[in-house]
Amino acid sequence: MLRNILNLTRVFLIGAFHRGSKKKRGRRRILLYAFLFLYVAAMLSILSYELIGALAALHQEEAFLGLVFMAVISLTMLTSIVASINLFYFSKDNLFVLPLPFRPEEVLAARFNTLLIYSYMEEAMLALAPLILYGILCKQGFLYYLFLLPVFLLLPVIPLLITAMLIVVFMAFTGGIRNKNLVQIAITSLTIVFSLMISMFSSSMSSQQEAMFMLEKANGLAELYAKAFPSMPLAMAAMTRYSFLSLLGLAAVSIGAYVLVCLFGHKLYYKGMLGSLFSSSGVSERKLDEKAFLTKGKYVSYFSKECKTYLRKPTFFTQLILPVILIPPFMLLVFRISLRSAGAEVFNLLEMIYETKQYAPYIVAVALLIAMFNASYCFISIVAVSKDGHDAYAMKYIPMAFSDQLYVKTAVDVFLCLFICLVTMILSAWIFKVPVIYLLMILPEVILYSLAHGVLIILDARHPKLGWSAEIEIAKNNLMMMAVLAFTLIHMALVALMAFLLNTNAVSIVLLICAFDLLVCILGYGYIRKEDLKLADNIE
């Protein structure tokens, strides 16, 4: 049984991590992850340094460990909701595994092991740097690091088991969900909204309240978690008192729970899994009305096809569309709540700034910066070709110029960017009472910026990734996202430079950045037209 579980785990992990990429792309991917890891580790280390210092002043350093463990448990549970649904139920290899002579508990154990490996990666990103920093700052000895490894490995087990079992029970008693697309969209949307609501809630506390909360209530919060997750007090005891007994207890509880779940959970798991393998709405036999047969014209039809692909494929919708629509407005609302808790003086100050003509360049610059930053959540242009996968071959044999098809694909990105920029402007007018004149002033640039944003499709057209087996490879694990960030940063840097360093007036800022984006559009879209055939050659 153990050998089967290990073999299956290995196969699932290979399937999960293998992207069929060439060595060069694999190296680039490793570099990207290394960079991200270092970046996150650096940010967390800075935060941890401040927090450890503050806790040490109250002789509550050990509370830091509790906070880190709570963060690990919270993150594990949050991220494993979507991961467990996809891995346990909507993984394509279920079709191949089911006919093989594996026991259901072996399959469940192997799936859970895969989930655990994912969570270790997240845990390493979140907790490794802070825990090591704690060890250094609090001058912990060899035993601290010796106990750290097993605690690191055992801590996520119970939270993962709880999430996994909740999902298993949900899927078992909801009739073997047929519409997997709806399930994926619903669960992911709820997760995003929940995460944003946590941000909103935490920022609604004033900074003084936060400090009080963190410093005085840290242990209390840890006690709350300790009641929900029995592994947590054992982990704390192991790390603070170097108790081998606690460590053994942690291992026993985690492994025991794991074994119990696998032995008894498999029936529920299979109940939900069989029947959700073949997805979607089922074949509809509704009669079509005349309107359904009406044609729209080549370009409208193509645009409609593109939109439907983004809206109907759950991964594309939740990774590419939903973040653009939800996150920027939520973040603005969060900022508004933070301002409100700072008091009415802030709004008086803003009003005074708006009335002072000499601040006009800064107002225009900040409005542009916020709009550009929010538009950076849009990654449509850099996946517009790749997202088609093998359907992209159709781009080559239908009688429509390749450049025309790229223009239509770009239009989705342009509209989405424009949408979020306009929403940002409207919210700014409402939340921060920005005078309409300033928003009208930046409108031409917002339109041109959105158009210029679409030019990034060239990057995807030059190096399309069509051989993906899971949509997440394109929608999430995509190096080209750095290009979108670079595009945004360049624009933001230009605007900031003009406003804050060169003291350019407001109208000139807008005109100059408009000219820049106009040039980008002319050169970019011109390149697409000129290199039509060469770009088409990249789809082979």
Partner 1 sequence: MIEFKNVSKSYKKGVKAVDDLSFTVNDGEIFGFLGPNGAGKSTTIRMLTGILNIDEGQILLDGKDIAKEPIEAKKTFGYVADDPDQFLALKGIEYLRFMADVYDVKDSGNKIRELTKRFGIDDVLDGRIESYSHGMRQKIIICGCLMHDPKNWILDEPMTGLDPRSSYDLKQMMSDHAAAGNCVFFSTHILDVAEKICDRVGIINKGKLLFVGTLEQMRETFREDVSLEQLFLEITENAA
Residues forming the site for partner 1 (CB under 8 A): 279-288, 290, 292-298, 300-302, 304-305, 308-309, 312-313, 390-391, 393-394, 396-401, 533, 537, 539-540
Minimum CB separation of residue 158 from partner 1 in Å reads 37
H-assigned helices in 19-156: 23-57, 62-89, 94-97, 104-123, 129-137, 142-154
How many whole angstroms separate alpha carbon 168 and alpha carbon 463? 40
Minimum CB separation of residue 523 from partner 1 in Å reads 25
Nearer to partner 1, 142 or 293 (CB): 293
Contacts 24+ apart (CB under 8 A), 441-447: 441/364, 441/506, 441/507, 441/510, 442/364, 442/367, 442/368, 442/371, 442/510, 444/510, 444/514, 445/368, 445/510, 445/513, 445/514, 445/517, 446/368, 446/371, 446/418, 446/421, 446/422, 447/418
Other C-beta atoms lying within 10 Å of the C-beta of residue 96: 11
Minimum CB separation of residue 277 from partner 1 in Å reads 13
Mapped onto helix, strand or coil, the DSSP state of residue 246 is helix
Minimum CB separation of residue 151 from partner 1 in Å reads 44
Please list, in sequence order, all residues whose beta carbon lies within 8 angstroms of the beta carbon of residue 18, skipping any fewer than 6 positions away. Answer: none
Nearer to partner 1, 245 or 300 (CB): 300
208: left (phi over 0), alpha (psi -120 to 50) or beta: alpha
Nearer to partner 1, 434 or 475 (CB): 475
Residue type, 146: L
503: left (phi over 0), alpha (psi -120 to 50) or beta: left
Find the helix packing angle between 402-431 and 436-454, rounded to 10°: 160
Nearer to partner 1, 67 or 395 (CB): 395
Nearer to partner 1, 355 or 540 (CB): 540
Nearer to partner 1, 385 or 513 (CB): 385
Q: Radius of gyration over alpha carbons of the chain, in Å?
A: 26
Nearer to partner 1, 24 or 286 (CB): 286
Token readout for 52 is 């450890």
Minimum CB separation of residue 300 from partner 1 in Å reads 8
Minimum CB separation of residue 90 from partner 1 in Å reads 13
Token readout for 10 is 């290995």
Nearer to partner 1, 101 or 399 (CB): 399
Residue type, 215: L
Minimum CB separation of residue 528 from partner 1 in Å reads 16
Minimum CB separation of residue 313 from partner 1 in Å reads 5
Minimum CB separation of residue 301 from partner 1 in Å reads 4
